């Protein structure tokens, strides 16, 4: 990874955060909690950035339609997150596999 890759990554992350800040406050709060949860659980494909930007896309559509964030995600946000990553391997699984050997 070169310096240009790092700079480009920071630009993309800042643009992503700007999209999150443009969401209504309730969407921002739920997004931040989801992000915290996903960083903790650690799905491997989270690094690629498609999951988080997909969540923002989904939230932008929900906000544009005038729906509340819990109408979009349901009241159990952790279950919503688990459903998003149900087919993804997590770093926790990899660690458990390596510790079990």
Query: Is domain 3-99 given the CATH code 1.10.1900.10 in the classification?
Result: yes
Is 21:28 a contact under the CB 8 Å cutoff? yes
Q: Residue 14 and residue 2: Cα distance in Å, rounded?
A: 19
Q: Chain-wide mean pLDDT for the chain?
A: 87
Quote the pLDDT of residue 64: 96
Domain boundaries, given as residue ranges, for the chain:
3-99
| Digit-coded pLDDT (tens) for 7-56 | 888 898 899 999 999 999 999 999 999 999 888 877 766 656 688 889 99
């Amino acid at each position: 990874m070169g310096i240009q890759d790092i700079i480009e990554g920071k630009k993309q992350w800042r643009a992503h955060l700007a999209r999150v800040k443009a969401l209504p406050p309730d969407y921002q709060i739920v997004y931040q909690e989801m992000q915290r949860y996903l960083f903790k659980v650690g799905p491997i494909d989270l690094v690629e950035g498609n999951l988080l930007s997909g969540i923002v896309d989904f939230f932008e559509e929900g906000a544009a339609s005038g729906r509340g964030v819990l109408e979009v995600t349901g009241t159990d946000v952790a279950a919503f997150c688990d459903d998003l990553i149900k087919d993804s391997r997590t770093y926790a699984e990899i660690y458990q596999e390596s510790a079990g050997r």
